[in-house]
Structure 1
Amino acid sequence: MAEEKDNAEAVVGEIQKKIKDAFEVFDLETNNTVDVREIGTIIRSLGCCPSEGELHDLIAEVEEDEPTGYIHWEKFLPMMTKVLMEKRYRPIPEDILLRAFEVLDPSKRGHLTKEELVKFMTEEGEPFTQEEMEEMLSAAVDPDSNIINYKDYLAMMVVEDN
Structure 2
Amino acid sequence: MTNRILTALTIRIAGLFLFTKIFDHFGSYFFSVFNVASLSRFDELLNEPIEKFYITGIFLTIANIAVSLFLFLKADWISNKLIKTDIEIKTELNAESLTKVILLTVGIIWLAKLIYLIPDLIEYCSIFISILSGNEEIELPDFAIANYILKTILTLIIIFRIEKISNWIIKKI
| Higher relative contact order (Cα pairs below 8 Å, separated by 6+ residues) | 2
Q: Which structure dedicates a bigger proportion of its chain to strand?
A: 1
TM-score (norm 2): 0.23
Structure with greater Cα Rg: 2
Q: Which structure dedicates a bigger proportion of its chain to helix?
A: 2
TM-score (norm 1): 0.24
